[in-house]
A and B are shown apart, each in its own frame.
Chain A
Amino acid sequence: MILALIGFTLSGMVPITLTAVGEIIGETAGLFNIGLEGILLLSAFAGALGATAYGPLMGILIGMGVGALISLLFAIVCTYWKGTQMVAGIGINLIALGFVEFGLIRFSSSAGSFPIPDSSQLFRWITPLGLMSPIVLIALILPFFAYWFLKRTRAGLILKAAGEKPEAADVAGINVNLVRLTAAVVGGALAGLGGAYMSVAWFGFVSKGMSGGRGFIALAAVVFSGLNPILALLGGLLFGFFRSLGLWIDTLIPGFPIPAEFLQMLPYVVTLLVVSGAIGRVRFPKALGAPYKRE
Chain B
Amino acid sequence: MSAEKKTLESRLLRGAHKTLTGLTPALESVLAAIIGLFIGALVMWLWGYDPIVAYKAMLLGAFGSKWGLADAGAIAAPLVLTALSFSICLRAGMFNIGAEGQLLMAGLATVCAGFFVLPPILHHAVAILFAMSAGAIWSMGPALLKLTRGVHEVISTIMFNWIANFLSLFLIGAFLINDFSADQTIAIPSSAVFSKIMRGTDLTYAIFVAIAFALIVYFVLWHTAIGYEVRAAGLNPSAARYGGIRNKRTLFLAFVLSGVSAGLAATTILMGSSAIHSMYRAHGQLLHVGFDGMAVAMVGRNHPIGILFSAMFFGGLSAGGRLMQLSPNPVPVQMVRLVMGVIVFTMAIPELVRIFPAIVNGTSGFIDRLRRLVSRTGRRRST
Contact = CB atoms under 8 A, between A and B. Distances in A.
Interface of A: 34, 77-78, 81-88, 90-99, 101-103, 105-106, 213, 216, 219-220, 223, 259, 261-262, 264-265, 268-269, 271-272, 275-277, 279-280
B381 interface: no
Contacts of A268: 159, 162-163, 166
A272 B156 contact: yes
Interface stretch (B67-75, B189-197, B334-342): B334-342
B228 interface: no
B158 A87 contact: no
A265 B346 contact: no
Contacts of A84: 348, 350
A96 B344 CA distance: 12
A127 B311 CA distance: 53
A97 B338 CA distance: 7
Contacts of B337: 94, 97-98, 101-102
B345 A88 contact: yes
Interface in B169-213: 169-170, 173-174
B23 interface: no
A98 B348 contact: no
Interface SS, A side: helix
A83 B334 contact: no
Interface in B319-372: 332, 334-351
9 contacts: A88-B345, A94-B341, A103-B47, A223-B152, A264-B166, A271-B159, A275-B151, A275-B155, A276-B151
A43 to B, nearest CB: 16
A98 B333 CA distance: 9
A265 B162 contact: yes
B349 A83 contact: yes
Contacts of A94: 291-292, 294-295, 337-338, 340-341, 344-345
A269 B167 CA distance: 12
B27 to A, nearest CB: 18
Nearest to B331: A102
A83 B160 CA distance: 28
B344 A90 contact: yes
B154 interface: yes
Contact of A102 (B43, B48, B150, B288): B43
A81 B349 CA distance: 6
Nearest to A95: B341
B298 interface: yes
Nearest to B332: A105
B149 A276 contact: yes
Nearest to B141: A272
Contacts of B334: 97-98, 101-102, 105
Contacts of A93: 291, 341
Nearest to B142: A272
B145 A102 contact: no
Given A91-B344, A94-B344, A98-B334, A265 B163 contact: yes
Contacts of B347: 87, 91
B95 interface: yes
B338 A99 contact: yes
B16 to A, nearest CB: 29
B194 to A, nearest CB: 29
Contact of A83 (B95, B167, B340, B350): B350
Contacts of B295: 94
Contacts of A269: 159, 163
A87 B336 contact: no
Contact of B162 (A97, A213, A276): A213
Contacts of A103: 47
B159 A102 contact: no
9 closest A-B pairs by beta carbon, nearest first, are A91-B345, A98-B338, A94-B341, A95-B341, A98-B337, A88-B348, A91-B344, A261-B170, A101-B334
Nearest to A276: B149
A280 B338 contact: no
Interface string B85-122: 00000000001010000000000000000000000000
Nearest to A265: B166
A81 B351 contact: yes
B37 to A, nearest CB: 13
B338 A95 contact: yes
Contacts of B338: 94-95, 98-99, 102
A41 B344 CA distance: 18
Contacts of A96: 341
B149 A83 contact: no
A216 B159 contact: yes
